Amino acid sequence: MIRYWQSVLEDSERQALDLDKPEKASSLSLDALAHVLDRREPFIKVINVESDHYMPPGLHLTEFEAVHLAQIVKPQVHIEALILENQPIGDNGMAAFADAMKGKELAYLKLQRNRMGPEGALAWARLLKEQSSLEVLEVVNNFIGDEGVMELAKALLHHPNLEILILDNIGISNSGAKAVAQVLPQLKNLKSLSIINDEINDEGAMAVIDAIKSVDKMKTLDLSEGRLSEDVVLALQDAQRRLIEPVRMLSLKERKLRNKAQPLPVRMKAGWNRFLLKISPWRPPNPYDE
């Protein structure tokens, strides 16, 4: 495995560490990776730990492996992008990675389907309050609840260059939506916002709609799958007129059918990978590409 990691890292021009297969996360493989990295100057800018949720067997880190990997990459001082996708590592694993990112300047952070709760979100919030470089934050399918999103929202005030914020299916209600709405006027560079959650109704949606009126660069807004009345749908349509790209909303028929399988016609291509062009030819997958 030492020779494997030597060849992969020496031949790669991407400055990226990809762990996308089960064998790469074994204790033997991680020990070999640590051995190789210890003998090189820090150079990694992108860490991509992902698995296709629908195509097993994929890479699924255990909590122990996550803590081990976090310790291995901690000395890599140039990390700017971290993707943890479909890794059920829980709050302890999340806290370990958050600790490993101290002293870095993260521009891209994706946390998707990690079995993270409020404690894990708090660990990331504490980290983000120490940084100011984030451009993209994506938290999806992690039940952090209102408590977790409130702490993350406060941390976002330290990131004036944030452009894309995705908070989908994270178990928040109107309280969480209003906490996000409160910080939106300070995020002057925000271009795309997605909050998809069944527990948000008219009160939370209107708080967000009112808040984006002061965000001049906003291009796309997704509040689909909320329990919205016809009046709020009309308010969304009114907000749509000032955005560069359409607001995504459920039609009355769609809301009755609750068709969650319909793809979202939102485009976040502009700006999605811009900052990665500066650091690596590596590209993160864009879930909004067809």
Where residue 256 sits, what CATH number does that domain have?
A: 3.80.10.10
pLDDT score, position 28? 61
Between 29 and 246, the more confident residue is: 29
Residue at 145 is within a domain: yes
- Say what the pLDDT of residue 251 is: 38
Residues 6+ apart with CB under 8 A from 106: 79, 80, 81, 82, 128, 131, 133, 134
Residue 177 belongs to a domain: yes
| pLDDT tens-digit readout, 221-256 | 888 777 888 888 788 777 766 675 544 443 333 333
| Structural domain count, the chain | 1
pLDDT of 59 reads: 74
Please tell me the predicted confidence (pLDDT) of residue 114.
95
| pLDDT band at residue 13 using 50, 70 and 90 as cut-offs | low
Average pLDDT of 213-218?
88
Mean per-residue pLDDT, 4-24: 66
Is 264 inside any structural domain?
yes
Question: Which single residue is written with the structure tokens 């590409």?
Answer: 289
Q: How high does pLDDT run on average in the chain? A: 79
Work out whether the CA dihedral 145, 147, 148, 154 comes out positive or negative.
positive
Residue scoring higher pLDDT (261 or 2) = 2
Instruction: Give the position of tokens 């399918």.
Output: 141
Q: Evaluate whether 108 touches 272 at the Cβ level (below 8 Å).
A: no
- Does residue 62 sit within a domain? no
Identify whether 165 is part of a domain.
yes
What tokens were used for 179? 């906490």
The answer to whether 161 and 133 are in contact (CB under 8 A) is yes
Residue 153 lies in a domain: yes
Residue 271: per-residue pLDDT: 38
Q: Are 149 and 179 in contact (CB under 8 A)?
A: yes
More confident residue, 288 or 103: 103
The pLDDT of residue 140 = 95
Q: For tokens 């404690």, what's the residue?
A: 119
| Cα 67 from chain centroid (whole Å) | 20
Does 81 map to a domain?
A: no
The answer to whether residue 195 sits within a structural domain is yes
Residue-range definition of the domain harbouring residue 217: 116-277
Least confident segment among 1-5, 13-17, 32-36, 64-68: 1-5
Asked if pLDDT for residue 21 goes beyond 70, the answer is no
Identify which has the larger pLDDT, 40 or 26.
40
